[in-house]
Amino acid sequence: MKDIKAGLLDSCINQQMLVVEQLQNEISEAQNQANDYGQPKDRYDAFRTKLMRQIELFAKQLDKAKIVINTLGKIEADKQLSVVEFGALVITNKQKIFVSAGLGKVDFNGITYFAISPKVPIYNALKGKRVGDEIVFNGMKIIIESIY
């Protein structure tokens, strides 16, 4: 199962690297459009203002994506865990949860995992629990089957 956790971690990092690359391309494209457009035509040049706002938005998204990559880099894939904590791969009777960063659904080897942030309510309900423990979350009975 360590191989699955390491592969899942690599998949999450690769997914975020693609996001970073895509955002960098978007920033470059918007910057090129702004450069091609030239100087503002007047004080209220809407097109150039729109391009600058796009660049600013993409830059913020890029910063967030880089933070996610740094967060994922803190996970030790080979560390065996006995309780639900940051970096844990938690298999329950309902779903497979990777406590890492809020990436949502991640398909790995044909299996769907949910990469969640330690800031979400389901994590707070699972935090510190062990194999065999049960919780009730949103009216669902969840049993922890294994932790890696």
- In this predicted model, what pLDDT tens digit does every residue of 47-105 receive, in sequence order? 878 888 999 999 999 999 999 999 999 999 999 899 999 999 999 999 999 999 999 99
Q: Tell me the H-state helices in 38-132.
A: 46-73, 121-126
Q: Is residue 84 part of a domain?
A: no
The two structure tokens encoding residue 132: 């065999």
Helix-then-strand count for the chain, H and E: 3, 6
pLDDT at 49: 83
pTM of the entire predicted model: 0.85
Q: Do 93 and 143 share a domain, yes or no?
A: yes
Give the model's confidence band at 141: pLDDT under 50 very low, under 70 low, under 90 confident, else very high.
very high
Q: Do 14 and 48 share a domain, yes or no?
A: yes
Instruction: Please identify, among 44, 73, 102, the residue that sits at the C-terminal boundary of a domain.
Output: 73
Q: What residues make up the domain containing 30?
A: 2-73
State the Cα–Cα distance between residues 48 and 33, nearest whole angstrom.
Answer: 9
